[in-house]
Structure 1
């Protein structure tokens, strides 16, 4: 981090004020010629000054909203990392840096580390810091089983995705290297270069959910290892993690991020951009953020900014969060997302370029989303008539014979509450999909029942329990079929969810 003297920071703040004045069409004031020349401003001058101040405030607000959206993925990733690695040893969904999380069963309704979790795979994940040296991951022979090991950089970009679709299921070794690393790797090790120092290997291994299949997946999970390059082919002992008592383990990460005020948020963002630098394509945004004193590597000295700038900054979190939340609908109108029978989805996930709002939106509703070739996530908040889902009603999703979701990996339909977390229910059922044993209609079609109460014992195999209030549905197609019928080219259409009268 660049250390500045107090004087330097004051000069920087003064320069920013001058730039803001200039941008608003105001000239830097000349020194007074004499005391006699100093006069109270006229009404016209007072109005001009007020308009200039309002313009500075508005400009700061607009830049701050854009900066908030730009940094939302990086801040969310950091807050997620802090929570998930704040343990001495692996336990449940948490593990220290450099040590694998090996979840032994599907997540439950108590899981709130990330939004929109799935209940089809056993998460096998690790957080790595590749700023000093590469880490080498060893993957066992997966014996034909579907799995996916996407690697996310600090900005949530999936920069590599080893898995059954891309690299097959044979045993593999790969090195994850940092942005500035140059060196030689051991023979037989594939390099994946991360654009940032922080990397989240968010692995998923498919399981049918039976005790026997759980055991088979556990055996595979135990063979995954991660070691620093310096200890490769040498005995390696992990060290205990350090627990930070100040980290909030109770409040969902997204809520922690959303509760940060503008100053705390931008201070964290500025520090994170040192080891997780914006890409070259982000240069215009970096220059824009500098106008409000937000510079990678510099301390965000909010106290020394023009009061009008600070006033504009203060509203940024609320305005940006509203803009992010509204992107599901606005993204359709902008042509970046697709809407089909009440379902909204996008094939712009995993790799975002300069599409900052899309990236922030995906972070908010499904942190860790994959590339579309690996997964598509149609989401629905309202029925076929456009009415929001409610547990007070009963719904059905009908699939004609031979028209189940076309996926080479697996598909599933998941029920979430209004915050994109699982809905607790007596069956412990959060999803229906490829592994479900559905009862079929006489014509071979399948009806899925989405409601709070059981539709009856004869239909319970097709029942996805809903909460009392509002809920959200997400359809997952892992490794979606590329040839017709395919959701990717529109040759397969998602049927509407209809309310049962």
Structure 2
């Protein structure tokens, strides 16, 4: 009897497996990374090779240099207060809080949110662990987003996690001290440099502004050495204004990464931020690049020139939403891996440029676009309608909003002082069929209720939907934002 084809396949598979096993048995033992040969700083590489590696180094480390520079400026504050009268700031190891929505004039962070009361603080957690107070927020949505130097979130503090009121100790990766009695929980960052951005939801009413004050006055962070087990309070409505020594350089975000200085700062990042698994070889290449530049001024100049070019050619285009995240339907994009970047360097750098300090996906999903339903640029001289069908508002456990931003991703001043519409607006008018239409443009249409009008500048603008604590349809992508139609 002749062997069947199946028997031939089994025999072949067995031979391959045996051959593989034999080959593996002959392999030398795996080397540790420290045993591998490293590049020599004594070689003379040609400039195009240096440019290629420099561009990679610039894109990879841009968010972390960004974080370092924000830390260095914000912690210069002599006391908790409001930088330029608008931005919450504090010395290292403390936090500043607002008492209302953030002012449209701030330029510290692009794509600010006008649904929450913000706080901000930066820390060096190996040197100085901090205590984070959590008051009893009741049914109000809140989340304290803590970020390491990679801009990844760490810890779980917020309504989605059913966090209990109390005192939470935040420590660095190398902290080995004792946790004092009275601490509710310990949260560890993967890097010593870290920051925290509390967000506490507030309706856009005088009643809710009054109701929230006692709560936010208990949102306080301070060094572990000051912990005494008693809930501390600060009247944030009386926080002092602190002069702002910097200039944003126009209507855009403060320039947190200066290309000419980047490669002078990269070595500090490599020292402070331990490599993720698999990043060791990349760290070695970048250190080699810095060693070359230290030996040769001409190579250093190549690095500076390439940093300037990369900032213009690669970083700047991230302000276009088509380069951020992935398609979400009807011409919108949605955020991807937000605040849980891992080795998604593309979206990490894109978000650091366009809208830094996203919440992680289970806390918030972001949808954004520059275009209407026909693919044309949104411009305020047109009028648009955005209609959410009945029973198809963003499905959330927290809140949702739609915000209008100018070309630089900031609020555009308008007579109503209105920059977003959503859950916080208790006077939105529904259509007869239960749907909701939001009107967007520089001029309110005659037949549109003013409560449903989102003013826009005459120039180009973008729209941005936030879905805080989204339900399954938000998380799995089955919910799609509505089309943006040009009004007839």
TM-score, normalising length from structure 1?
0.80
Whether contact under 8 Å (1:84, 1:113) holds in the other structure is no
The equivalent of 1:459 in structure 2 is 449
Alpha-carbon distance between aligned partners in 1 of 2:135 and 2:461, rounded to the nearest angstrom: 39
Alpha-carbon distance between aligned partners in 2 of 1:270 and 1:237, rounded to the nearest angstrom: 40
- The Cα of 1:65 is off from its aligned counterpart by 1.2
- The Cα of 1:201 is off from its aligned counterpart by 0.9
Alpha-carbon distance between aligned partners in 1 of 2:265 and 2:299, rounded to the nearest angstrom: 22
- The Cα of 1:63 is off from its aligned counterpart by 1.1
Whether contact under 8 Å (1:140, 1:171) holds in the other structure is yes
Q: Provide the secondary structure at the position in 2 that maps to 1:257.
A: coil
1:451-472 per-residue CA deviation (whole Å, 9 max, x = no partner) reads 0012237521111111121111
The equivalent of 1:311 in structure 2 is 302
Is 1:103 aligned with 2:98? yes
Q: CA RMSD in A?
A: 2.8
Whether contact under 8 Å (1:393, 1:499) holds in the other structure is yes
Is 1:491 aligned with 2:473? no
Is 1:269 aligned with 2:269? no
Whether contact under 8 Å (1:76, 1:254) holds in the other structure is no
Q: 1:202 aligns with which of 180, 194, 197?
A: 197
Q: 1:282 aligns with which of 279, 293, 296?
A: 279
Whether contact under 8 Å (1:339, 1:345) holds in the other structure is yes
Q: Provide the secondary structure at the position in 2 that maps to 1:145.
A: coil
Q: 1:400 aligns with which of 389, 397, 402?
A: 389
Alpha-carbon distance between aligned partners in 2 of 1:257 and 1:121, rounded to the nearest angstrom: 24
Query: Which consecutive unaligned segments of at least 5 residues does structure 1 have?
Result: 1-13, 22-55, 295-300
Q: 1:89 aligns with which of 75, 79, 90?
A: 79
Q: Provide the secondary structure at the position in 1 that maps to 2:256.
A: helix
Whether contact under 8 Å (1:16, 1:293) holds in the other structure is no
**Are the structure 2 counterparts of residues 473 and 414 from structure 1 closer, same or farther at C-alpha, using a change threshold of 3 Å?**
same
**Are the structure 2 counterparts of residues 17 and 245 from structure 1 closer, same or farther at C-alpha, using a change threshold of 3 Å?**
farther
Whether contact under 8 Å (1:423, 1:430) holds in the other structure is yes
**Are the structure 2 counterparts of residues 251 and 104 from structure 1 closer, same or farther at C-alpha, using a change threshold of 3 Å?**
farther
Whether contact under 8 Å (1:127, 1:198) holds in the other structure is yes
The equivalent of 1:470 in structure 2 is 460
Whether contact under 8 Å (2:123, 2:193) holds in the other structure is yes
Whether contact under 8 Å (1:83, 1:249) holds in the other structure is no
The equivalent of 1:32 in structure 2 is none
Which shifted more, 280-289 or 318-327?
318-327
Is 1:193 aligned with 2:188? yes
The equivalent of 2:5 in structure 1 is none
Question: How many residues are paired up?
Answer: 434
1:99-129 per-residue CA deviation (whole Å, 9 max, x = no partner) reads 2211011112201111110000001232222
Which shifted more, 316-325 or 143-152?
316-325
Alpha-carbon distance between aligned partners in 2 of 1:343 and 1:202, rounded to the nearest angstrom: 26
Whether contact under 8 Å (2:331, 2:372) holds in the other structure is yes
Q: Provide the secondary structure at the position in 2 that maps to 1:271.
A: helix
Is 1:448 aligned with 2:438? yes
The equivalent of 2:409 in structure 1 is 420
Alpha-carbon distance between aligned partners in 2 of 1:276 and 1:200, rounded to the nearest angstrom: 15
1:180-223 per-residue CA deviation (whole Å, 9 max, x = no partner) reads 11132124431111111111111000000222212222211111
The equivalent of 1:129 in structure 2 is 124
Is 1:368 aligned with 2:357? yes
Alpha-carbon distance between aligned partners in 2 of 1:79 and 1:366, rounded to the nearest angstrom: 16
- The Cα of 1:406 is off from its aligned counterpart by 0.9
Which shifted more, 197-206 or 128-137?
128-137
Q: Provide the secondary structure at the position in 2 that maps to 1:409.
A: coil
**Are the structure 2 counterparts of residues 388 and 67 from structure 1 closer, same or farther at C-alpha, using a change threshold of 3 Å?**
same
The equivalent of 1:338 in structure 2 is 327
- The Cα of 1:321 is off from its aligned counterpart by 4.6
**Are the structure 2 counterparts of residues 84 and 491 from structure 1 closer, same or farther at C-alpha, using a change threshold of 3 Å?**
same
Is 1:347 aligned with 2:349? no
- The Cα of 1:413 is off from its aligned counterpart by 0.4
**Are the structure 2 counterparts of residues 229 and 90 from structure 1 closer, same or farther at C-alpha, using a change threshold of 3 Å?**
closer
Whether contact under 8 Å (1:292, 1:309) holds in the other structure is no
Alpha-carbon distance between aligned partners in 1 of 2:130 and 2:440, rounded to the nearest angstrom: 44
Alpha-carbon distance between aligned partners in 2 of 1:123 and 1:249, rounded to the nearest angstrom: 22
Is 1:138 aligned with 2:137? no
Which shifted more, 350-359 or 217-226?
217-226
Which shifted more, 269-278 or 432-441?
269-278
